[in-house]
Amino acid sequence: MRRAIALARTQVGRTGDNPSVGCVIVRDGAVVGEGVTAPGGRPHAEEQALIQAGEGARGATAYVTLEPCGQRSSGAPSCSALLAQAGMARVVVACDDASTFAGGRGMARLRAAGVRLDQGLLGAEAADLYSAYRPAK
């Protein structure tokens, strides 16, 4: 999660209305993919980390600084759906996202898919990233 927070920090203030999110995917103790929200806000961190991880995402753990989105404003598949579809075993989230596109729905989708969830790891450190973030209503 420290690595995910460090990644997110690199894009704070550069992602428009979107929060800067960091995602690190770990399997068998090795990083197999990582990503950070792109300048302008898209693609999302998880999308990029999953592309990098490829089949390595199956059975892996994702460390994400913010709740993975449960819906995209474009109608594209949400990050929680992509994580579940990739066969992720566990997702560890630092902070909640109160956005209308998340708001617990990302977590619910992952839980329904049987993904193990842990919340709050390094939550205070990660929350610092989001002091200026205003979740979409």
Strand partners, 117: 91
Catalytic residue among 46, 47, 55, 125: 46
One-letter amino acid for residue 53 of the chain:
A
Binding of ligand AOF at residue 45 (CB under 6 A)? yes
- 77 Cβ contact partners less than 8 Å away, ≥ 6 residues apart: 85
Cα 45 to chain centroid, rounded:
6
Angle at the Cα of 66 from the Cα atoms of 81 and 80, rounded to 5 degrees: 5
**Contacting range for ligand AOF; rule: CB under 6 A; set: 61-69, 87-95, 107-115, 122-130:** 61-69
The pattern of x and - marking residues 7 through 26 that bind ligand AOF according to CB under 6 A reads -----------xx-x-----
Answer for the pair 94, 4: CB distance below 8 angstroms, yes or no: yes
What are the backbone dihedrals phi and psi of residue 20, each rounded to the nearest 5 degrees, phi first?
-85, 120
Please say which residue, 26 or 91, places its beta carbon nearer to ligand AOF. Answer: 91
Residue with the shortest CB distance to ligand AOF:
99
**Contacting range for ligand AOF; rule: CB under 6 A; set: 51-59, 62-70, 88-96, 112-120:** 62-70
Which residues participate in catalysis according to the annotation?
46
Binding site for ligand AOF (CB under 6 A): 18-19, 21, 37, 41-42, 44-46, 66, 68-69, 72-74, 79, 97, 99, 101-102, 135-136
